[in-house]
Amino acid sequence: MVRVLELLFRIYQKDSDRDMAEHYHALIIDDELDILELISLTLSRMNIRCVTATSVTEAKKLLKEQTFHFCLTDMRLPDGDGIDIVEHIQKYIPTMPVAVITAHGNMELAVAALKAGAFDFVSKPVNLRVLRDLVNAALKQTGIIRKEFASKYVLLGESTAIESLREMIIKVARSQAPVLIQGESGTGKELVARLIHDRSARADKPFVAINCGAIPRDLMESEFFGYKKGSFTGAASDKIGLFQAADGGTLLLDEVGELPLYLQVKLLRVIQEKAVMPVGSAQEIPIDVRIISATHKKLNELVQHGEFRQDLFYRINVIELRVPPLRERISDIPILVEFLLNKSTQQPQQGHIKLTDEALACLMQYSFPGNVRELENILERAIALCDGQTIYPKDLQLPAVTQPDVAITEQSEDLNELLDTVQKDALLQALEKNHWNKTATAKQLGITLRALRYRLQKLGL
């Protein structure tokens, strides 16, 4: 009998060792032993082996000696705080997600941690469902259990401004922090939001976009948070809101500056509590949603005028992305034109439509107040107006401000000389606008300083 028990123990030990080899490793940092025990027990049931620390010093020592897939740290520690841990991991192990535990209602510290690079946060008392969702998302982000999802969306361009934006999208996608996308109308803010979602651990979950300025104010609350049957006239059945529809995924609040003040208060609570209360319900429903906001307005000015809550602005503006207007990346226009023409002429009977060099030169001179959306509209109109398969300057029907240049282009006999003239005029205007500061000029034109110097030399400037 003893021999049988011994054999069973050895078999169990081997199975246990094999299972343990498949476990993920997490570092849990907290000076409250009951919290450490609760989190360790919860994560162990998720096949995660936990190593614990009670101070910043002990945690840094463990991070140096062992490899972890994830870190969860309290904000208040005997010899420092959670932000010390976040900054240390960002510096030495930037690919490892780290989340923080904050006191209930202390969103200021949570936001500070997110700005420092934390993946997400959880409030005390720890909600175990929220904790499990957070850990699962973190492990997906490490690539251990995450599948790759190819995005059908693409950010076109080779300018410095677009390259920088691409890098920021990749970096931001690793986090769960709220994002505010700033940019003029037509620059592609929703496209940026979709790319962030598609590169994140939430890529296999819903992406829900809502234009806050397009919903009647008396329907906003029920659209956002849903409603219960009988809560008002016409509510014949329960309906989930947009937050619940996006559960597990990403919710884009487009034109967030249009939200009325009463709804801003409710949105603030949703962000803090990670729960929504449907109209007519007395119970909150937990949600796991990453919020991305977008606006063409200057929210800080709306805050100053009392039209947007400062505390909400602080919450949604943890990470800010600026989408550059088209006039700041004119070198991308040929690439965009080629893509948009191919997109607009997919019917076989249309054939391949192209722009003349003169027409392209006109586009390169135009300021595009409506940005990429306006460029697409101009090309669609030109396709309808042009004779044959070629678009000429007259087909573009650009505003009168650029028409004198069109006349010049049509009279020019030397195309190379014409293009040089167009480039020279554009460069001179940009240089004068930036008081002949070459670095600022290159940034405005969306090209490198080296490329600017080459063009200046080539054009004799």
Question: Phi and psi for 460 in degrees, rounded to 5?
Answer: 75, 30
Q: No. of H helices and E strands in the chain?
A: 21, 18
Q: Which residue has the tokens 């409030």?
A: 123
pLDDT at 408 > cutoff 70: no
Give pLDDT, residue 17: 35
CA distance linking residue 398 with residue 362, whole number of Å: 8
Fold of 418-461: Arc Repressor Mutant, subunit A (1.10.10)
pLDDT at 59: 94
User: Are domains 15-141 and 160-324 of this chain identical in fold?
Assistant: yes
The residue extents of the domains of the chain are 15-141, 160-324, 326-411, 418-461
Per-residue pLDDT band at 406 (split at 50, 70, 90): very low
Query: Looking at domain 326-411, does it have CATH number 1.10.3720.10?
Result: no
Rounded distance between C-alpha atoms, residue 300 and residue 320, angstroms: 13
Superfamily covering domain 15-141 = Response regulator (3.40.50.2300)
User: Between the CA atoms of 32, 35, 41 and 44, what dihedral angle is there, to the nearest 10 degrees?
Assistant: -80
More confident residue, 413 or 199: 199
Which has the minimum average pLDDT: 216-230, 371-385, 407-421? 407-421
Query: What would the pLDDT profile of 100-151 be if each residue is shown by its tens digit?
Result: 998 866 778 888 888 888 888 888 888 888 888 888 888 877 764 444 445 6
pTM here is 0.71
CATH of domain 160-324: 3.40.50.300
The residue ranking higher by pLDDT, 235 or 402, is 235
- Helix, strand and coil content of the chain, in percent to the nearest 5, comes to 50, 15, 35
**179 vs 323: CA distance, rounded Å:** 13
Using the structure block, give the residue that is written with the tokens 């991308």.
332
